[in-house]
Copies of this chain bind each other. A is one copy, B any other.
Amino acid sequence: MPARIGKYTLELNSKPVILGFASVVGKKECEGPLGKLYDQCHTDTTLGESSWEKAESRLQNEAVSLALYKAGVKNTDIDCIFAGDLLNQCISSTFGLRNLNIPFLGQYGACSTMAQTLAIASIFTESGAAKRAVAVTSSHFCSAERQFRLPLEYGGQRTPTAQWTATASGAIVVGTGEQKSGNKISVESVTFGRITDYGIKDAANMGAAMAPAAAQTLTDYLSDTGASPKDFDLILTGDLGSIGSELMEKILTKDGIDITAVHNDCGLMIYDRVKQDVHAGGSGCGCSGAVLCSIVMQQLAAGEMHKVLFIGTGALMSPTSTQQGESIPGVAHLVYLKS
């Protein structure tokens, strides 16, 4: 059973294990610094489908299939799947996973979805509600642009604070048992975040909107557990980009917490910001999904890192809420991974 430490953190006593993980990405992500580490790269961002939404569904389907294969299990071995994405009514997840015949629980945490799905899946396996569960998320540059911003054909100028939605998916099988190869990676604890709202209204500056939530959840975790940033090899946010990362570090410094030596952000890792012209960095649920399910999990499995705090950050807005003058609240969920 999970044990509550402090006010917000749950320690998972049975230490659910990452049985398998996989990442599937598009062309631009493949050309980025982590290109060789993904399980699957697509050179055609339509993935041969007739729409970008269907392409995104396919990303999820492939990521889950690969994660199951790498875990050495079948869809019938999975008790439930936690899935979410950025599209209206989470259709990438629905249509991508409908043929799997696994009990399906749709999640919406914006770009915090990889952390949210992994955290809930871990609690389900910890508690015995599931022997094995899958956590998955995705995003697609083209489906996100047309839904949240402008038609691609319009060729609008992007602001310097804008982030580039990754065409990517990450999937994880979590459960009891042993992973097939590499050091055992376990989920040690999770901290669910509260909604924060600093009144940011610029939908082209999501990093700034999410930074306070990331800072709050990390502060909650450190205060609950008595840990300090130097106890970890990596504190990984996803996806604050350059502006949000700097802001988060500033907020924490004001509270006497210095994470600069161990902090990195999925949005800063996925692209070469200068050569790939992505302005403030990457974003989208698939960005943190694919970074977590490639280099981070691989380094944990190889023993190159042992203690990672993964903090998924989400901006909880819609084009409608922005048009109605609303601010952009943020939320962040934390998962502590250890190998």
* A180 CB-CB contact with B under 8 Å: no
For window 114-134 of A, CB contacts with B under 8 Å fall at 116, 120, 123-124, 126-129, 131
Q: Which residues of B contact A108 (CB under 8 A)?
A: 84, 89-90, 106-108
In the complex, what's the smallest C-beta–C-beta distance from A260 to chain B, in angstroms? 27
A195 touches B94 (CB 8 A): yes
Report the copy number of this chain in the oligomer.
2
Of A15-23, A49-57, A294-302, the one contacting chain B is: A49-57
Q: Which residues of B contact A116 (CB under 8 A)?
A: 105-106
Size of the A side of the interface (Cβ < 8 Å), in residues, is 60
A195 touches B128 (CB 8 A): no
In the complex, what's the smallest C-beta–C-beta distance from A187 to chain B, in angstroms? 13
Contact status of A329 and B103, CB under 8 A, knowing A1-B1, A53-B324, A123-B124: no
Contact status of A89 and B91, CB under 8 A, knowing A8-B103, A195-B97: no
* A48 CB-CB contact with B under 8 Å: no
Q: Give the one of A110, A116, A128 with max B CB within 10 A.
A: A128
In the complex, what's the smallest C-beta–C-beta distance from A148 to chain B, in angstroms? 9
Q: Mark A322-337, 1 if CB is under 8 A from B, else 0.
A: 0010100101010000
Partner among B80, B94, B126, B329 whose Cβ is within 8 Å of the Cβ of A95 = B329
B123 touches A127 (CB 8 A): yes
B104 touches A318 (CB 8 A): no
* A276 CB-CB contact with B under 8 Å: no
* A102 CB-CB contact with B under 8 Å: yes
Contact status of A89 and B316, CB under 8 A, knowing A194-B102, A194-B104: yes
Residue of B nearest to A98 (CB): B195
For window 156-195 of A, CB contacts with B under 8 Å fall at 192-195
Q: Mark A16-47, 1 if CB is under 8 A from B, else 0.
A: 00000000000000000000000000000000
Q: Which residues of B contact A4 (CB under 8 A)?
A: 79, 128, 131
Q: Give the one of A193, A195, A324 with max B CB within 10 A.
A: A195
A91 touches B195 (CB 8 A): no
* A200 CB-CB contact with B under 8 Å: no
CA distance A316 to B84 in the complex (A): 12
Residue of B nearest to A315 (CB): B89
In the complex, what's the smallest C-beta–C-beta distance from A319 to chain B, in angstroms? 7
* A10 CB-CB contact with B under 8 Å: yes
Partner among B2, B80, B88, B123 whose Cβ is within 8 Å of the Cβ of A89 = B88
A321 touches B95 (CB 8 A): yes
* A101 CB-CB contact with B under 8 Å: yes
CA distance A143 to B161 in the complex (A): 31
CA distance A195 to B60 in the complex (A): 15
Q: Give the one of A103, A123, A317 with max B CB within 10 A.
A: A103
